[in-house]
Structure 1
Amino acid sequence: MRLVAFLLPFVASTSVLAQSPASAQVASTTVLRASAPRAGDPAPLASPERAVRAPRIDGSADDDIWKTARAITEFRQFEPTEDGDPSFRTEARVAYDSRNLYVLVRNYDPHPDSILSVLQRRDGMALSDDIILGVDSYNDKRTGYMFRLTPAGTMSDGYVFNDGNEDWGWNAVWEGAAQIDSLGWTAEYRIPLSQLRYVPSGDNTFGLLLMRRIARRGERISWPLFRRSRTGMVSQWQPMAGFAELSAPRRMELQPYTVGRYGASPRGDGTPRNAAASQIGADVKLGLTSNITLDAAVNPDFGQVEADPGVLNLSAFEQFFAERRPFFLEGSGIFRYDIDCNDGQCTGLFYSRRIGRSPQMRSTYGDAASPLQSRILGAAKVTGRLGNGLSIGLIDAVTQEEMGTQQRTIEPRTNYGVLRLQQDLRGGNSGIGLMVTNTARQTDQWTRNFLRGNAWTGGLDARHRFAGDRWQVSSQLAGSHVAGTAQAIALTQRSNGHLYQRPDAEHIDFDSTRTSLTGWMMQGSLEKQGGGITRLSTSAWYMAPGFEINDVGFRTRSDEAGASMWMGLRPVTPVGMFRRANLNFNAWGFSNTDGMMLGNGGNVNGWGEFKNFWSANGGIGFNNLITAYSDRDARGGPALFKPKTLNSWFNINGDSRRNFAPNIGGNVGRRLDGLGSNWNVHGGANVRVGSQFNGSINLNYTRNIDDQQWNGNYVDGGVTSFTFARLYQSTSSVTMRMNYTITPTLSFESYLQPFVSNGEYTDWRALANGRSSERDERFRPYTTRGAPAGFRVGQMRTNNVVRWEYRPGSVLFFVWTQGRDASDTNLDRRGVTDAYGNIFARRPDNVFLIKASYWLGR
Structure 2
Amino acid sequence: MSPRRVAALAALLLASAAGAQTNTPTRPVSRELPVPPAADAGESRATARAAIARRAERAPTIDGRDDDAAWRGAQVIDQFLEYEPTPAAVPRFKTEVRVLFDDKYLYVGARMFDPAPDSIISLLSRRDVRTQSEQLKLVIDSYHDRRTAYQFILNPAGVKRDFYVYNDATEDVTWDAVWDGAARVDSAGWVAEFRIPLSQLRFPKGDAHTFGLLIVRDVARTGQRISWPLYRRDVQGYVSQAGEISGFAGFATPRRLEVSPYVVTKNVTQARPGTNAGYTHPQEQAIGADLKYGLTSNLTVDATINPDFGQVEADPAVLNLGAFEQFFEERRPFFLEGAGIFTFRNSCNDIDTGCRGLFYSRRIGRSPQLGGSYGDASSPLNTTILGAAKITGRLPSGLSIGVLDAVTQREVGTRDRTIEPGTNYFAARAQQDLNKGQGDFGAMITAVNRDVDTLTARFLRRNAYTGGLDFRYRFFKRNYELHTSLSGSHVAGTRDAITALQRDGVHRYQRPDDDVTLDPNRTSLVGDAQRVSFSKFGGGRTRFQSVYQRYSPGFEINDLGFQQRADEQLFRNWFAYQIQQPTALFRMAFFNFNAMGSWTTDGLALQRNLNTNWHLQFKNMMWGHFGTNVGGFGGVYDDRDARGGPAVRRSTSWEVWSGVEGDNRKPWTPYLFAGLYGGDEGNTRGYWMEPSVNFRLRSQFSASLGVSYNRASDNSQWYGNYGVSGVDTTHYTFAHLDQRTLSLTTRLNYTASPTLSFQFYGQPYIALGEYSDWRELANPRAEAYADRYRPYGAGRDPGGLDFKQLRTNSVLRWEYRPGSTLFVVWAHGRDAFTTDPNDRLNVRREYQDLLGLHPNNTFLVKLSYWLNP
CA distance in 2, matches of 1:838, 1:27: 71
Find out whether 1:74 has 2:79 as its counterpart: yes
- How far does residue 804 in structure 1 lie from its aligned partner after superposition? 0.5
- How far does residue 829 in structure 1 lie from its aligned partner after superposition? 5.0
Find out whether 1:840 has 2:851 as its counterpart: yes
- Find the partner of 1:438 among 441, 447, 462: 447
- How far does residue 200 in structure 1 lie from its aligned partner after superposition? 2.3
CA contact (8 A) 1:811 1:854 kept: yes
- How far does residue 347 in structure 1 lie from its aligned partner after superposition? 2.1
Query: Aligned letter for 2:532?
Result: G
CA distance in 2, matches of 1:760, 1:83: 59
Find out whether 1:341 has 2:348 as its counterpart: yes
CA distance in 1, matches of 2:132, 2:789: 54
- Find the partner of 2:638 among 619, 630, 634: 630
Q: Deviations over 1:132-151 (max 9, x none)?
A: 11110000001000011110
Find out whether 1:806 has 2:816 as its counterpart: yes
Query: Aligned letter for 1:783?
Result: G
Equivalence map 1:439-478=2 (5 Å): 439-478=448-487
- Find the partner of 1:542 among 532, 539, 550: 550
Distance 1:745 1:281, change over 3 A: same
Q: State how many pairs are aligned.
A: 823
- How far does residue 765 in structure 1 lie from its aligned partner after superposition? 0.4
CA contact (8 A) 1:747 1:803 kept: yes
Q: Deviations over 1:599-632 (max 9, x none)?
A: 0111111111111111111111201122100000
CA contact (8 A) 1:829 1:835 kept: no
What SS does the corresponding residue of 1:339 show, helix, strand or coil? coil
| TM-score where L is the length of structure 1 | 0.94
Distance 1:653 1:25, change over 3 A: farther
Q: Which residue of 2 aligns with 1:131?
A: 136
CA distance in 2, matches of 1:576, 1:604: 24
CA distance in 1, matches of 2:197, 2:832: 51
CA contact (8 A) 2:768 2:838 kept: no
Q: Which residue of 2 aligns with 1:208?
A: 213
CA distance in 2, matches of 1:682, 1:530: 33
Find out whether 1:315 has 2:322 as its counterpart: yes
CA distance in 2, matches of 1:633, 1:583: 33
- Find the partner of 1:740 among 750, 769, 790: 750
- How far does residue 667 in structure 1 lie from its aligned partner after superposition? 1.1
Q: Deviations over 1:225-249 (max 9, x none)?
A: 1111112211110121110011212
Equivalence map 1:89-488=2 (5 Å): 89-269=94-274, 271-341=278-348, 346-488=355-497
CA distance in 2, matches of 1:137, 1:750: 37
Find out whether 1:649 has 2:657 as its counterpart: yes
CA contact (8 A) 2:346 2:487 kept: no
- How far does residue 71 in structure 1 lie from its aligned partner after superposition? 0.9
CA contact (8 A) 1:200 1:247 kept: no
Find out whether 1:561 has 2:556 as its counterpart: no
- How far does residue 497 in structure 1 lie from its aligned partner after superposition? 0.4
CA distance in 2, matches of 1:126, 1:517: 50
Q: Which runs of 5+ in 2 are unaligned?
A: 1-39
- Find the partner of 2:616 among 602, 608, 616: 608
Query: Aligned letter for 1:378?
Result: G
CA distance in 2, matches of 1:457, 1:633: 28
CA distance in 2, matches of 1:44, 1:356: 47
Find out whether 1:725 has 2:732 as its counterpart: no
Q: Deviations over 1:164-191 (max 9, x none)?
A: 1111111110011100000111110011
- How far does residue 262 in structure 1 lie from its aligned partner after superposition? 1.5
Query: Aligned letter for 2:586?
Result: F
Query: Aligned letter for 2:641?
Result: D
Query: Aligned letter for 2:423?
Result: T
CA contact (8 A) 2:364 2:408 kept: yes
Cα RMSD over matched residues? 1.5
Equivalence map 1:440-839=2 (5 Å): 440-506=449-515, 508-671=516-679, 673-715=681-723, 719-783=729-793, 786-828=796-838, 830=840, 831-839=842-850
CA distance in 2, matches of 1:61, 1:255: 34
Deviates more, 1:614-623 or 1:720-729: 614-623
CA contact (8 A) 1:24 1:70 kept: no
- How far does residue 531 in structure 1 lie from its aligned partner after superposition? 1.0
CA contact (8 A) 2:347 2:549 kept: no
- How far does residue 699 in structure 1 lie from its aligned partner after superposition? 0.5
What SS does the corresponding residue of 1:346 show, helix, strand or coil? coil
Query: Aligned letter for 1:495?
Result: D
What SS does the corresponding residue of 1:327 show, helix, strand or coil? helix
Distance 1:618 1:25, change over 3 A: farther
- How far does residue 580 in structure 1 lie from its aligned partner after superposition? 1.5
Q: Deviations over 1:11-57 (max 9, x none)?
A: xxxxxxxxxxxx975479xxxxxxxx9xxxx8242100100111111
Distance 1:554 1:309, change over 3 A: same
What SS does the corresponding residue of 1:217 show, helix, strand or coil? coil
CA contact (8 A) 2:681 2:785 kept: no
Query: Aligned letter for 1:775?
Result: Y
- How far does residue 773 in structure 1 lie from its aligned partner after superposition? 2.2
CA distance in 2, matches of 1:124, 1:466: 36
CA distance in 2, matches of 1:238, 1:461: 29
Distance 1:310 1:44, change over 3 A: closer
What SS does the corresponding residue of 1:338 show, helix, strand or coil? coil
Q: Deviations over 1:719-752 (max 9, x none)?
A: 2110000010000100000000001101111111
CA distance in 2, matches of 1:625, 1:766: 24
Query: Aligned letter for 1:754?
Result: P
CA contact (8 A) 2:757 2:812 kept: yes
Query: Aligned letter for 1:849?
Result: L
- How far does residue 345 in structure 1 lie from its aligned partner after superposition? 6.1
CA distance in 2, matches of 1:629, 1:577: 43
CA contact (8 A) 1:654 1:662 kept: yes
Q: Deviations over 1:623-675 (max 9, x none)?
A: 11221000000000000011111111111111111111111111111116111
CA distance in 1, matches of 2:409, 2:84: 50
CA distance in 2, matches of 1:44, 1:345: 32
CA contact (8 A) 1:401 1:409 kept: yes
- How far does residue 821 in structure 1 lie from its aligned partner after superposition? 0.8
CA contact (8 A) 1:575 1:581 kept: no
Distance 1:415 1:560, change over 3 A: same
CA contact (8 A) 2:553 2:567 kept: yes
CA distance in 1, matches of 2:331, 2:420: 22
CA contact (8 A) 2:650 2:680 kept: no
Query: Aligned letter for 1:609?
Result: Q
Q: Which residue of 2 aligns with 1:852?
A: 863
CA distance in 1, matches of 2:87, 2:260: 44
Distance 1:575 1:339, change over 3 A: farther
Query: Aligned letter for 2:744?
Result: V
CA distance in 2, matches of 1:568, 1:664: 24
CA distance in 2, matches of 1:454, 1:24: 69
What SS does the corresponding residue of 2:271 show, helix, strand or coil? coil
CA distance in 2, matches of 1:344, 1:638: 35
CA contact (8 A) 2:49 2:228 kept: no
- How far does residue 70 in structure 1 lie from its aligned partner after superposition? 1.1
